[in-house]
């Protein structure tokens, strides 16, 4: 469908009621249609395929209802007739990996097909081969069949990229004890013979309730914001206010932006760096928010950082009652200043050195736990002051006083404030009185892990260095400390995961009866614990990290100790009077060495956060790294100010004749040296008339900016009009010369094709629907055919309901550059627009209007960004990414196309890929601007290149089957 997301009832079913004439030679085989390169394991995924059911990838036959191609990501449609051997009640069953459906008609008409058995609906269900009774839905109810009749059936199967693909249908007489048997060739026949038909001949394909394209209901709630209605989508249908009545509204001015690289030597493919993006208002929802679960490149943080630390740095935890003011959480905050962000290289180096305990969740540490010597970063200041950069502290320095936190860190006159921890950068710490001993940090220790007795020696302060254990990391600097057990009393509500901050002494669990050896071990453990008295004071840590006492990691297991401890624990559990001990008393007795402490969750924890606008951090440079971010958003205040100025001039010129109803679209191209270009699209109400559409380019020139040579052709620049500057000195609007777009200009879609029958049929259907919906006759379709064998392209063009078309036939191998150049050469009017197009495109209804608005002869060319759909995705449920690197879809006036030299047919022969970047280089060097915008509902259908352009298909291409490229 051309119009995705359009609400309403589905089109009426066009079912096939009458089967074609049947012949005896049809016995022994059935029709098989294959839909390749389509993801998903549910039959519903197959129905979402653009070409289902009329245009399969392959048409062939099969001799029994048991098929296993040993392939992936495909769907099958098997249909024909079943001939029962005798009269009676019959049960059917279907088995498959993944899902499948078996439909059966009570007669030979496809319109009467009913679903009788199926395997799954979600794509996760499957059966083993021959497993006919795994699901209750597999087995049908008894059906009364007669041997003198034939019955139409349809089998649908969908396979994803996993498992052993198979689908089979069995039947049995409805008698006790009988097993299902696969239906063989003796009881099957073809629906029709397709061996002599071309791929575009689809009148014979049966359309049943199982497979008809109109049988799918539209989604009630679209998943993507872009599918929601927007005034831009249909604004082109509003009558346009004639440009002639707007010529004297603004003073004329020369338009020559400084970012144009005319005659500037650029390297090969360097033109990508000279393409700038435009700002849009209101929000057009082209940001693929539904794709950011897997791709968060819209945010400045790297995926590695977000995976480890999330978005906690944008949050400031509130201090609870009773919390000391001097305790400052080492939390990072967001500053809407690009200078506060690390570069990609710095961020990578920082993340390599970070540990999980250095995340933004850690609090109240006595020393910094980020980089050993983090370079200080200049913080944003208030009132334009610049604080002195702090120097790394030394043991001789006095502790820096801590102050309350705020989202904006300003300099203080008397004492420098600590810088915020941003991406792991810590403020200047207070130096502790003494250096704590080394700690042992355990990341993922398995319960019951024991070490050798040689680990006792390194515990001595004078012992030699020890080698790390598996999963144990040694650090010379102290790490945040955490108690292993909860305190005897329930902790007060704190803004920490681990409860209070009071240290808890480690001591072994008290036992009423213990051997002399165990007592010696306990005494030795107490001695070791006293030596490391500060190892277990409380501090916050992340939920995925754990700290163990040194004795738990390195204490050896003496002979018989493990069994003795188990016996003693059993005695403790069974001793009388132990039931009276509460949980608090057990914790007061001391932590058990083999137990773990669960993190305490503070459900009452609150935080502060400021409103953030990540659009402020984006640049108008062509971002080639992030393919889910949408168009740049223009601030509302700026758009409203420009519109207010224009409406004031318009009403002053026409005496208040027009009233602004709403701002439909504003596009801004920024030039920091001379001003900004705006495209204003406003809906107006004419006094005594109807609603009108205003769509004009205006220029907001900076005061005192030099315009330079407008065209570079030696003409003198236009004088600066005095009316373009406002009395208050702010920029004023003017009308840029030679920057007006034409609404009635002819647009030529040029598409080279070869052996793409189903895609050509879909493209022509979309173009015919575009003409019917818009009523626009000022466009034509030019197909350059490289000897297609799977369809008659010229006949398809004549049959399509298009206002204009041209058919060009070329011989030899497929050459995209040569095909596009041949199509442009066939255009006679040099003042018309040629749109270099692809075959697998889904067009929005306003595509013609979008091309005309952004193509201005001698000034602008248009390279819209298309959304490339993922495997299994459709325009009604789009999943994919914006093709930010591709410039193959390109609109330009033919006169400008010829001026830049056209396509490079010599270098890009027998290949495609890179010719669009090479053309872009020459277009920019010719002094043209290239408008780059993401268009709503503008998709590139998923397809693979396997078998494309009529390549050989190997073992999958067999006699009796007809195949086309995807």
Q: Rounded to whole angstroms, how far apart are CA atoms 648 and 582?
A: 79
Angle at 172 between CA 169 and CA 178, to 5 degrees: 125
Instruction: Please tell me the number of Cα atoms within 13 Å of 413 on its side-chain side.
Output: 1
Neighbouring residues of 779: CB distance < 8 A, sequence distance ≥ 6: 746, 747, 748, 749, 770, 771, 803, 804, 848
Peptide bond into 255 cis (omega under 30): no
At 886, list the tokens: 């591709």
Sign of the torsion angle spanned by Cα atoms 494, 495, 498, 500: negative
Which strand (E) or helix (H) includes residue 868? Answer: strand 865-869
Q: How many other β-carbons are positioned within 10 Å of the β-carbon of residue 127?
A: 23
Pairing label, strands 732-736, 747-753: unpaired
Which pLDDT score is estimated for 946? 67
Structure-token match 């083993």, residue found: 128
Q: What is the pLDDT of residue 470?
A: 44
- Tokens coding 353: 């050195």
Q: What is the pLDDT of residue 322?
A: 62
| Three-state secondary structure readout of 645-695 | HHHHHHHHHHCCCEEEEEEEEEEEEEECCCEEEEEEEEEEEECCCCEEEEE
Report the 10 Å Cβ neighbour count for 899: 17
Q: How many CA atoms lie within 13 A of 705 on its CB side?
A: 25
Note the pLDDT of residue 596.
Answer: 65
Integer Cα distance of 164 and 129 in angstroms:
9
CA–CA distance, 908 with 815 (Å, rounded to integer): 8
DSSP string, 766-779: HHHHHHHHH---SE
Give the E-state strand segments of 44-192 in sequence order. 58-62, 66-67, 74-82, 88-97, 100-104, 114-119, 143-145, 151-159, 166-173, 181-182, 188-189
Closest by CA to 698, choosing from 621, 637, 636, 644, is 644
Nearest of 66, 184, 186, 40 to residue 132 by alpha carbon: 66
Helix (H) or strand (E) holding 208: none
What are the b/e assignments for 419-453, b being 16+ CB within 10 Å?
Answer: bbbbbbbbbbbbbeeeebebbbbbeebeeeeebee
Residue 718 DSSP SS3: coil
Structure tokens at 664: 């439909």
Separation of first and last alpha carbons in the chain: 19
How long a stretch of residues is the chain? Answer: 966
Predicted TM-score of the model (pTM) = 0.69
Residue 528: in which H helix or E strand, if any? helix 516-531
Closest CA to 936 of 48, 232, 223: 232
What percent helix, strand, coil does the chain show, rounded to 5?
20, 20, 60
| Cis status of the peptide bond prior to 87, with omega within 30 of 0 | no
Q: How far apart are CA 584 and CA 589, in angstroms?
A: 9
What ranges make up the beta strands (E) of 725-864?
732-736, 747-753, 779-785, 805-809, 833-836, 841-842, 860-862
Tell me the average confidence (pLDDT) per consecutive run of 10 residues in the chain, 966 residues long: 42 76 93 92 90 91 95 94 94 95 94 94 92 94 94 95 93 90 95 91 91 53 85 95 90 92 86 92 92 79 78 83 52 45 46 41 38 37 39 42 38 42 43 50 44 44 45 46 48 41 40 43 44 40 40 42 45 44 44 63 85 81 84 94 96 93 96 94 94 96 68 44 54 92 96 93 95 95 94 94 95 91 96 96 96 97 96 91 94 97 88 86 94 96 71 41 46
Contacts of residues 510-518 at CB distance under 8 Å and 24 or more positions apart, as own/partner, are 510/589, 510/590, 511/568, 511/572, 512/572, 512/575, 513/568, 513/571, 514/568, 515/564, 517/558, 517/561, 518/561, 518/564
Alpha-carbon distances of 612 from 336, 478, 616, rounded to whole Å: 8, 35, 9
Q: Residue 901: count other Cβ atoms within 10 Å of its Cβ.
A: 11
* Residue with the two structure tokens 């919390």: 323
Q: Which pLDDT does position 943 carry in this prediction?
A: 87
> CB–CB of 44/121 below 8 Å?
yes
DSSP for 445-497 reads PPTT----GGGGGGGSTTSPP-PPPTTEEEESS------SS--SSPPP--SSS
Collapsing DSSP states into helix, strand and coil, what is residue 426? coil
Q: What angle do CA 304, 305, 309 make, to 5 degrees?
A: 125
Question: Of 382, 383, 376, nearest to 407 (Cα)?
Answer: 382
Which pLDDT does position 912 carry in this prediction? 67
Tokens, residue 217: 């209901």
Q: How many CA atoms lie within 13 A of 376 on its CB side?
A: 17
Residues 496 and 862: their CA atoms lie apart, in Å, by 54
Question: Looking at residue 235, what is its pLDDT?
Answer: 96
pLDDT at 914: 87
Name the DSSP letter for residue 363. Answer: B
């Amino acid at each position: 469908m051309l119009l995705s997301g359009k609400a309403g009832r589905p089109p009426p079913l066009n079912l096939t009621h009458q089967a074609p004439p049947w012949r005896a030679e049809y016995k022994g085989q059935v029709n098989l249609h294959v839909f390749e390169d389509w993801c998903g394991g549910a039959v519903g995924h197959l129905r979402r395929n653009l070409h289902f059911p009329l245009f399969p990838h392959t048409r062939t036959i099969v001799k029994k209802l048991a098929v296993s191609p040993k392939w992936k990501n495909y769907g099958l449609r098997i249909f024909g007739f079943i001939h029962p051997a005798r009269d009676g009640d019959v049960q059917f069953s279907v088995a498959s990996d993944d899902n499948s459906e078996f439909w059966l008609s009570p007669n030979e008409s496809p319109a009467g097909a009913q679903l009788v058995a199926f395997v799954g609906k979600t794509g996760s269900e499957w059966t083993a081969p021959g497993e006919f009774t795994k699901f209750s839905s597999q087995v049908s109810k008894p059906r009364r069949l007669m041997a003198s009749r034939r019955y139409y059936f349809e089998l649908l199967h969908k396979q994803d990229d996993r498992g052993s693909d198979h689908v089979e249908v069995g039947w049995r007489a409805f008698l006790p004890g009988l097993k299902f048997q696969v239906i063989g060739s003796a009881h099957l026949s073809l629906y029709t013979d397709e061996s002599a038909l071309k791929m575009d001949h689809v009148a014979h394909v049966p359309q049943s309730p199982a497979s008809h394209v109109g049988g799918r209901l539209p989604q009630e709630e679209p998943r993507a914001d872009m599918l929601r209605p927007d005034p831009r989508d249909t604004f082109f249908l509003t009558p346009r206010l004639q440009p002639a009545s707007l010529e004297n509204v603004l003073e004329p001015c020369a338009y020559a932006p400084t970012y144009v690289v005319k005659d500037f030597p650029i390297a090969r493919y360097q033109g990508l760096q000279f393409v700038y993006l435009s700002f849009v208002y209101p929000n057009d929802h082209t940001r693929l928010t539904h794709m950011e679960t897997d791709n968060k490149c819209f945010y400045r943080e790297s995926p590695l950082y977000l995976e480890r630390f999330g978005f906690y740095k944008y949050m400031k935890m509130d201090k609870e009652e009773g919390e000391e003011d001097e305790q400052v959480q080492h939390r990072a905050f967001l500053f809407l200043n690009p200078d506060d962000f690390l570069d990609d290289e710095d961020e990578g180096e920082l993340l390599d050195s970070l540990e999980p305990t250095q995340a933004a969740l850690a609090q109240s540490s006595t020393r910094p736990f980020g980089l050993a010597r983090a370079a200080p970063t200049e913080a944003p200041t208030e009132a334009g002051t610049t604080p002195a950069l702090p120097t790394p502290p030394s043991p001789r320095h006095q502790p820096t006083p801590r102050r309350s936190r705020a989202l904006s860190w300003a300099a203080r006159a008397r004492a420098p404030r600590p810088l915020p921890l941003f991406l792991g950068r810590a403020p200047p710490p207070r130096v502790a009185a003494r250096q704590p001993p080394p700690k042992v940090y355990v990341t993922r220790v398995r319960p019951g892990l024991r070490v050798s007795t040689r680990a006792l020696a390194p515990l001595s302060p004078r012992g030699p260095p020890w080698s790390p254990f598996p999963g144990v990391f040694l650090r010379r600097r102290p790490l945040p400390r955490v108690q292993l057990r909860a305190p005897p009393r329930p902790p007060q509500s704190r803004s920490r995961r681990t409860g209070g901050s009071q240290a808890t002494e480690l001591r072994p669990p008290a036992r009423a009866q213990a051997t002399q050896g165990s007592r010696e071990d306990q005494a030795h453990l107490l001695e070791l614990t006293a030596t490391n008295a500060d190892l277990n004071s409380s501090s916050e840590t992340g939920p995925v990290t754990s700290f163990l006492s040194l004795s738990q990691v390195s204490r050896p297991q003496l002979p018989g100790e493990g069994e003795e401890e188990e016996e003693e624990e059993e005695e403790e559990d069974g001793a009388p009077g132990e039931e009276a001990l509460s949980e608090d008393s057990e914790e007061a007795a001391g932590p058990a060495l083999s137990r773990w402490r669960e993190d305490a969750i503070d459900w009452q924890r609150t935080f502060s956060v400021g409103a953030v606008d990540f659009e402020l951090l984006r640049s108008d440079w062509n971002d080639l790294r992030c393919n889910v971010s949408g168009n740049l958003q223009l601030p509302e205040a700026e758009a409203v100010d420009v519109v207010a100025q224009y409406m004031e001039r318009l009403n002053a010129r026409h005496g208040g004749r027009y009233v602004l109803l709403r701002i439909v679209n504003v596009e801004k191209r920024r030039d920091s040296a001379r001003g900004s270009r705006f495209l204003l699209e406003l809906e107006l109400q004419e006094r005594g008339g109807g609603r009108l559409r205003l769509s004009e380019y205006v220029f907001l020139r900076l005061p005192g900016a030099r315009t330079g040579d407008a065209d570079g052709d030696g003409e003198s620049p236009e004088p600066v009009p005095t009316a373009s500057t406002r009395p208050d000195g702010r920029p004023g609007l003017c009308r840029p010369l030679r920057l007006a777009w034409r609404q009635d200009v002819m647009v030529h879609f040029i598409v080279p094709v070869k052996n793409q029958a189903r895609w050509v049929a879909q493209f022509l259907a979309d173009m015919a629907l575009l003409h019917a919906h818009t009523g626009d006759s000022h466009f034509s379709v030019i197909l350059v055919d490289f000897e297609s064998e799977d369809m008659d392209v010229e006949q398809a063009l004549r049959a399509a309901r298009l206002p204009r078309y041209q058919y060009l036939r070329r011989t030899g191998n497929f050459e995209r550059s040569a095909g596009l150049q041949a199509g442009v050469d066939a255009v006679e009017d040099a003042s018309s627009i040629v749109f270099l197009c692809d075959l697998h495109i889904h067009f929005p209804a306003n595509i013609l209007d979008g091309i005309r608005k952004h193509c201005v002869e001698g000034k602008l060319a248009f390279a819209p960004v298309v959304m490339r759909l993922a495997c299994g995705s459709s325009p009604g449920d789009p999943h994919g990414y914006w093709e930010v690197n591709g410039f193959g879809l390109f609109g330009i006036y033919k006169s400008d196309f010829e001026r830049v030299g056209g396509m490079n047919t010599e270098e890009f022969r027998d290949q495609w890929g890179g010719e669009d970047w090479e053309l872009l280089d020459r277009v920019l060097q010719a002094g043209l601007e290239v408008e780059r915008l993401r268009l709503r509902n503008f998709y590139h259908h998923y397809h693979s290149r396997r078998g494309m352009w009529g390549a050989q298909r190997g073992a999958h291409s067999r006699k009796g089957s007809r195949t086309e490229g995807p």
